[in-house]
Structure 1
Amino acid sequence: MADRALRGSGLGAKSFEDEVGIEFAARQDVGFDCARGHHFSVTFAAEAELPTLWECPRCGSEAKRSDGVVAEVKEAKPARTHWDMLLERRSIAELEELLAERLDLLRAGELGPGTPDRRTA
Structure 2
Amino acid sequence: MAERTLRGARLGGQSFEDERGIEFAARQQVGYRCPQGHEFEITMSDEAEVPAVWECPRCGAEALNTSGAQPEAKVEKPARTHWDMLLERRSEKELEDILKERLELLRGGEIGPAHLHRKTGKRSKATA
The interval holding the TM-score normalised by the smaller chain is 0.7 to 0.9
Residues 80, 64 of structure 1: alpha-carbon distance in 2 compared, 3 angstrom cutoff: same
Residues 55, 104 of structure 1: alpha-carbon distance in 2 compared, 3 angstrom cutoff: same
Matching residue of 1:4: none
Deviation at 1:51, TM superposition (A): 1.6
Residues 112, 13 of structure 1: alpha-carbon distance in 2 compared, 3 angstrom cutoff: same
Matching residue of 1:42: 42
- Taking only aligned residues, the RMSD between alpha carbons, in angstroms, comes to 2.4
Tell me, in whole angstroms, the C-alpha distance in 2 between the residues paired with 1:83 and 1:109: 28
Gaps of 5+ in 1: 1-6, 116-121
Matching residue of 1:24: 24
TM-score, L = length of structure 2: 0.71
TM-score, L = length of structure 1: 0.74
Mean CA deviation greater in 59-68 or 104-113: 59-68
Tell me, in whole angstroms, the C-alpha distance in 1 between the residues paired with 2:98 and 2:66: 61
Residues 23, 114 of structure 1: alpha-carbon distance in 2 compared, 3 angstrom cutoff: farther
- Amino acid corresponding to residue 66 of structure 1 in structure 2: T
Deviation at 1:9, TM superposition (A): 5.0
Once the two structures are superposed, residues 5-40 of structure 1 have per-residue CA deviations (whole angstroms, 9 ceiling, x without a partner) of xx6354213212112233433433211112333321
Tell me, in whole angstroms, the C-alpha distance in 1 between the residues paired with 2:59 and 2:95: 55
Tell me, in whole angstroms, the C-alpha distance in 2 between the residues paired with 1:59 and 1:75: 27
Tell me, in whole angstroms, the C-alpha distance in 1 between the residues paired with 2:12 and 2:93: 75
Gaps of 5+ in 2: 1-6, 116-128
What SS does structure 2 have at the residue aligned with 1:104?
A: helix
Q: Number of matched residues?
A: 110
Matched, 1:74 2:67: no
Residues 34, 20 of structure 1: alpha-carbon distance in 2 compared, 3 angstrom cutoff: same
What SS does structure 2 have at the residue aligned with 1:17?
A: coil
Matched, 1:106 2:103: no
- Amino acid corresponding to residue 34 of structure 1 in structure 2: C
Give every structure 1 segment of 4 or more consecutive aligned residues whose post-TM-superposition deviation is greater than 4 Å.
none
Residues 53, 102 of structure 1: alpha-carbon distance in 2 compared, 3 angstrom cutoff: same
